[in-house]
Amino acid sequence: MSQRSTPADISFNLTVGLIAGIAILILVAPVLIVIATSFTTTQALRFPPPGLSLRWYGELFDPVRSAPIHTAALNSLWVAGWATVIGSVLSVLAALAITRVSRPSARALEASFLSPLVLPTLSYGLAALMFFSVLGIRPSLNLLIAGHLVVIAPFVFRTTLASLTQLDPALLEASANLGASRFYSFRRITLPLITPGIAAGAFLAFIASMDNVPVSLFLSTARTSMLPIRMWGMMESTLDVRIAAIAGVLIVAILVLMVVMDRFTGLTRRVSA
Amino acid sequence: MASQHTATAQAAQPLTLDGVTHSYGTGFAVDNVTLEVKGGELVALLGPSGCGKTTLLRIVAGFISQTNGKVIIGDRPIDVLPPNRREIGIVFQNYALFPHMTVAENIAYGLAARGESRAVQAERVAEMLATVRMEGFADRKPRQLSGGQQQRVALARALAIRPRILLLDEPFAALDKNLRLDMQIEIKRLQRQFALTAIMVTHDQDEAMSIADRIAVMSHGKIEQLGSPVEIYDEPATLFVNNFIGSSNLLKGRVVAVGPDGYRVELDSGAVWTLASKGRFETGAAVLVSVRPEQMVLADEAAPDRLPVALKLSLPIGGALIHDATAAGGEDIKIAVPRRPGALSTGPGTAFAALAPHARPSLFPATSS
C-alpha cells in the first residue's frame, strides 16, 4: 500500500485487531486446553497437564471398559446420519416446492419451515416427549431420529433454498429449449448446481444432531443413550479424563470433515454468506 | 471450408406470427403482432426496452404462453408444444452456458437429452466445434473462456440440435465493441450455412442494420415498420422509426402547395423545399421535415431553398465534418459533410444549409410525436 496511514487508521486497525484477538482467544483457547488436558498422565481433569501420554485415548478405545461410551457414540452417529439423510431429502423437496409457488405464500412457507431454528429447543424436547407419550410411542432410536429431524432439517432447507434462488433461471430455460424434460433438467442442471448447498447444509445438520443435548435429554433413555448426554453424565459422576479424550476425537473429526467439505463445496463461503 | 459440406442441407422453414397478443394485467406487452419470417431469413426485432420484443421472442420459444394469436413454423402451429419440443435454437443474452459442464458437454446436452448415443454426440460435438472454430476448447469450462468464445459455444450448442428456427436475444450486448463485428459476421455465416430462419432481438440499430435481412421496429408492443434496413433508414414510416433509427434533423414547416412532383413546404426557418412523400397532406398542414445530417450541405450564399443557420461547433469525426448548428426556426440541426484531407474544424459563423442532391427527406404530420 502506497497510501500513508493516518493515526485514525492505526487506532482503527488496532481496535479491530484487539477485538478479533480476544474473540479468537475465547473461541480457540478452550479447545486447545481440552485437547492438551486429554493427553494428561494423571487421573485429574486438570490444566496444565503434569505430563503427556496417550493413556486416556487408550482407555477410551478400550472395547470393554468404554463399552457404554461406544454405544452412545454409535447411537449418536446412527441418529445423526439418518436424521441428516431424511432431513436433507425433505428439505430439498420443500425448497424446490417453495421456489415454484407465488411470492407471499412462499414467504409464509419459508418462515414455517425455518421456525424450528428459533423455537427454544428445550421446550421442543419437552413437548416432543409429552406428545409421543400421549401417542403411546415408546422411546427408541427411531424416535430420536424423528426428534432430531425437526431441529436439524432447517439447516439443509436454508442452504438449499439459497442455492436455488441463486440458480440462473436462464439455465433451466436453456435446458428446456435444448429438449430436456423437467426431470432431465433437474437431474443434470438443478441438482448438480445445488449439491454444494445441500452438502453444506447437511454438514451443519449432522453436527447439530451430533451435539444436540436438549432434544436427546428428553427423548433418550438408558438403552438409547446419546454421546453428549453420556458425557454430561460422566462429568457429573466421575470427572473422567476420557471426556476430554472424547472431546479431542470429536474436534479432530469435525476439523477433518470441515476441510474435506470446504474442498468440495466451499462451505465457509456458504455459511458466512 | 470443410464444415460447409458436412452441414445437412435442409429446407428452411418460414416462421409466422399471426395476431400474437400478450397482456400483463391491463397493459399489452405485445399487441396484435403479425409477422412472417421467410425461410432462411434473418429478421431483427428492434426497439427500446419495454417495447415487447423480448416478450415476443419468449413467446416463440415457448417460455411465455401468449394471450392470443398463433405461432406457426412451416404450416404447423406450435403453440401447444412445450419449449422442449419446439426444436428452436436460442442464443441467450448471457449465453446461459451450463457452468458445471465442459464445452463438449454443453454442446452435447441437447443430443443427450434426446437420448442420442455417445458416438452420435461425440461426432456432432466435433463437427460443431469445427463449425464455430473452437476445436481446442472441448474440455474447458465456460468460465475459462472469453466472451466471444462463450458466444461461439452458445451458438454451437444451439445449432447442435439442428433447430428449425434460431432465436438470438441481444447476442452482441455482452461483447466488446471490436469483437462485435467479428461475431456479427460469424452469426450471419452460420445462419446462411445452416439455412436457418432467424429472429434477433436487439436495441442496437447498428447490429440490426448490419446483419438483418429485414428489420421490424417495435414500440409499445406493436410493429411500427417492417422493412429492409435501407427502407427503414431511408423511408421511415413513422416519426418514431425516424427518430429511433440513425440521427436526423427535424424542421418545422407548413405545406403551401401540392404539386405533381411533391409537396411544397415552407420551413419556419425560411427555406422552401419541394418534397416527395407517400403520406397525404392538405395544403396548410403543419409538418415536420426530417433530413439526415449527411443529406445536407452548407453553402455561403443565400437562396430560396437554403435556410440560414448559425454554426456553433464543428467536429472532425473520421472522414466527416459534423457541424452543430441552430436554424432560424430555433431547431438544433447537425450537418455532416465529407471532410477534405487536411481541413480542420471551422469556427462559429453563419452559413446556409441546403439539401444535398441525393437527399430524400421524410415528411411527418406535426401533431404526431
Contact state of A174 with B92 under an 8 Å Cβ cutoff: yes
pTM: 0.79
Find out whether A241 and A44 touch, Cβ atoms under 8 Å.
yes
What pLDDT does A99 receive? Answer: 86
Q: What is the pLDDT of residue B37?
A: 94
Candidate from B62, B94, B113 with C-beta closest to A178: B113
Q: Cβ B87–A179 below 8 Å, yes or no?
A: yes
Which pLDDT value is given to residue B213?
A: 94
Burial of B309 (0-12, 13-18, 19+ CB in 10 A): buried
Whether the Cβ atoms of residue B236 and residue B245 lie closer than 8 Å to each other? yes
**In A, residues 58-77, which contact B (CB 8 Å cutoff)?**
none
Which of A170, A188, A193 has its CB closest to that of B92?
A170
Distance from CA of A168 to the nearest CA of B (A): 8
Helix, strand, coil shares of chain A, percent, nearest 5, are 80, 0, 20
Residues in chain B closer than 8 A to A178 (CB atoms): 84, 109-110, 113, 157-158, 161
Which of B58, B60, B64, B84 is the best substitution to test chain A (most A C-beta atoms within 10 A)?
A: B84
What residue segments make up the domains of chain B, in order of their start?
A: 3-242, 247-365
pLDDT digits (tens, 9 = 90+) for A19-49: 999 999 998 898 888 888 888 888 877 778 8
The CATH class, in words, for A66-272 is mainly alpha
Asked if A174's CB is within 8 angstroms of B90's CB, the reply is yes
Taking the CA of residue A86 and the nearest CA in chain B, the distance in Å comes to: 26
The answer, yes or no, to whether residue A50 has pLDDT greater than 90, is no
Nearest C-alpha of chain A: how many angstroms from B85? 6
Distances (CA, A) of B82 to A13, A27, A51, B270: 59, 55, 74, 61
pLDDT above 70 coverage of chain A, percent: 95
Ordered DSSP codes for B53-111: HHHHHHHHHTSS--SEEEEEETTEE-TTS-GGGS-EEEE-TT----TTS-HHHHHHHHH
* B61–A173 C-beta distance less than 8 A: yes
B120: buried, middle or exposed (CB in 10 Å: 19+, 13-18, 0-12)? middle
Interface of B with A (CB under 8 A): 61-63, 82-90, 92-94, 96-100, 109-110, 112-114, 157-158, 161
pLDDT band at A68 (very low <50, low <70, confident <90, very high): confident
Taking an 8 Å cut-off on Cβ atoms, the answer to whether B110 and A168 are in contact is: no
- Residue A191 C-alpha, separation from nearest chain B C-alpha, in angstroms: 11
Antiparallel, parallel or unpaired: β B88-91 and B165-169: parallel
One digit per residue, pLDDT tens: chain B, 369 residues? 334 444 444 578 899 999 999 988 777 889 999 999 999 999 999 999 889 999 999 999 999 999 999 999 988 999 999 999 998 999 999 899 999 999 999 999 999 999 999 999 999 999 999 988 899 999 999 999 998 899 999 999 999 999 989 999 998 887 888 788 888 888 898 898 888 999 999 998 888 998 999 999 999 999 999 999 999 998 899 999 998 988 889 999 999 888 888 888 988 888 888 888 888 888 888 999 999 998 998 888 888 888 888 888 888 887 788 888 888 878 888 988 887 776 666 667 888 888 888 888 888 988 744
pLDDT of residue B120: 94
Is the Cβ–Cβ distance between A185 and A167 less than 8 Å? no
Is A173 part of the contact surface with chain B (CB cutoff 8 Å)?
yes
**Mutation for A interface: B90, B125, B153, most A CBs within 10 A:** B90
Chain A: residue nearest B157 by CA? A178
Q: What integer pLDDT is reported at residue B3 of this predicted model? A: 41
Separation CA A178–CA A191 (nearest Å): 18
Segment A157-170, tens digit of pLDDT: 999 999 999 999 99
**Residues written for chain B:** 369
Instruction: Determine the pLDDT at residue A211.
Output: 87
Whole-number pLDDT of residue B269: 83
Phi, psi values for residue B168, rounded to 5°: -120, 120
At B28 the three-state DSSP class reads strand
Question: DSSP secondary structure string, A239-254?
Answer: --THHHHHHHHHHHHH
Measured CA to CA, the distance from residue A36 to residue A30 in angstroms comes to 10
> Whole-angstrom Cα distance, residue B178 to residue B196?
26
pLDDT at B342: 66
Beta pairing partners, B44: B200, B215
DSSP, res A137: P
Which residues have a Cβ under 8 Å from the Cβ of B72 and sit 6 or more positions away?
A: B15, B16, B17, B18, B78
Q: What does the pLDDT read at residue B327? A: 87
Residue A126 pLDDT more than 70?
yes
Task: Decide if A179 and B61 are in contact by the 8 Å CB cutoff.
Answer: no
Tell me the chain A residues in contact with residue B157 when contact means C-beta distances shorter than 8 Å.
Answer: 174, 178
| Binary contact (B113, A168; C-beta < 8 A) | no
> In chain A, whose CA is at the least distance from the CA of B113?
A180
Please name the member of B63, B97, B114 whose beta carbon is closest to the beta carbon of A179.
B114
| Per-residue pLDDT, B49 | 87
Q: Is A251 on the interface with B (CB under 8 A)?
A: no
Residue among B82, B98, B110 whose CB faces A171 most closely: B98
Q: Cβ–Cβ of A177/B82 closer than 8 Å?
A: no
Return the domain boundaries, chain A.
Answer: 66-272
Its CATH class, for the domain covering B3-242, is alpha beta
**Tell me: domain B247-365, CATH 3.40.50.410, correct?**
no
Q: pLDDT at position B10, please?
A: 57
Residues A207, A204: Cα–Cα separation, whole Å: 5
Per-residue buried b or exposed e for A243-273, using 16+ beta carbons within 10 Å of the residue's own CB: bbbbbbbbeeebeeeeeebeeebebeebeee
Cβ-based contacts of A179 with chain B (< 8 Å)? 84-85, 87, 110, 113-114, 161
**A173:B98 CB<8 A:** no
Q: With CB atoms and an 8 Å threshold, state whether B113 touches A171.
A: no
Query: In this complex, do B84 and A189 lie within 8 Å of one another by their Cβ atoms?
Result: no
ipTM of the complex: 0.81
Q: Which of A168, A173, A188 sits opposite B63 (nearest CB)?
A: A173
Beta strand extents in A36-131 (DSSP E only): none
pLDDT of residue A201: 92
Answer positive or negative: Cα dihedral of B92, B94, B97, B103: positive
Nearest CB to A178: which of B62, B82, B110? B110
Kindly report the nearest CA distance between residue B97 and chain A, in angstroms.
7
